[in-house]
Structure formats: structure tokens, C-alpha cells
């Protein structure tokens, strides 16, 4: 399922227009982004937890030549599945 399928599903379930469903989905996604920026974690009980994690700088390898290349430090978002979701799927 992609974002447009999710919007169609929300519109169908709520019996509303795709425009309103798209606004709802975008609002939820923006809320998750804001929570990650401010609190570094967003927990949706019964679904899971999004967490912002820092990655250290490291040395990788160019897959074609095998020579070492520096990889900068950065951030990534991790997701831990909640118990209820894990049992359902």
C-alpha cells in the first residue's frame, strides 16, 4: 500500500472526499515528523514507536572498486512494532 492507497482507504472508511482524507493523512504525518524533531520519539499505542537514532561517522567501501570511502554521521528513523500490531499480523 502506498500513500495514495492509504488516502483512498481513509476516504472510504470515513465516507469523505479524497481531498479531506489527504488532509487528514498529511496532518498525521506532519504530527509524527514534529514529534520526532521535538521529542525524538513518537509512540502510537497498539501500533508501534518511531524513534530518531543517531549514526556515527564510519568508513565504508566502494562496491565497485573496494576502496574505502568516508560516510558522514547522520540520523535515521527506526520503527519498533507494538505488541498488538505484531500479534495481528
The string of pLDDT tens digits covering residues 9-43 is 999 999 999 999 999 999 999 999 999 999 999 99
φ, ψ of residue 57 in degrees (nearest 5): -65, 145
Tell me: do 45 and 29 sit in the same domain.
Answer: no
pTM above 0.85, yes or no: no
Residues 18 and 60 in one domain: no
- CATH code of 67's domain: 4.10.520.10
Whole domain around residue 3: which residue ranges? Answer: 1-38
How many helical (H) and strand (E) elements, i.e. helices and strands, does the chain have? 3, 5
pLDDT tens digits along 68-89: 999 999 999 999 999 999 999 8
Statement to judge: residues 74 and 53 lie in one domain: yes
The rounded distance, in Å, linking the Cα atoms of 48 and 89 is 13
C-alpha radius of gyration, the chain, whole number: 18
81 lies in the same domain as 47: yes
Amino acid at each position: 500500500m502506498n500513500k495514495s492507497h492509504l488516502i483512498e482507504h481513509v476516504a472510504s472508511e470515513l465516507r469523505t472526499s479524497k481531498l479531506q482524507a489527504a488532509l487528514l493523512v498529511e496532518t498525521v504525518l506532519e504530527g509524527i515528523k514534529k514529534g520526532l524533531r521535538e521529542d525524538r520519539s513518537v509512540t502510537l499505542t497498539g501500533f508501534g514507536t518511531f524513534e530518531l537514532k543517531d549514526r556515527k561517522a564510519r568508513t565504508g567501501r566502494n562496491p565497485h572498486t573496494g576502496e574505502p570511502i568516508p560516510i558522514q554521521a547522520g540520523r535515521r528513523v527506526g520503527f519498533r512494532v507494538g505488541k498488538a500490531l505484531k500479534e495481528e499480523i
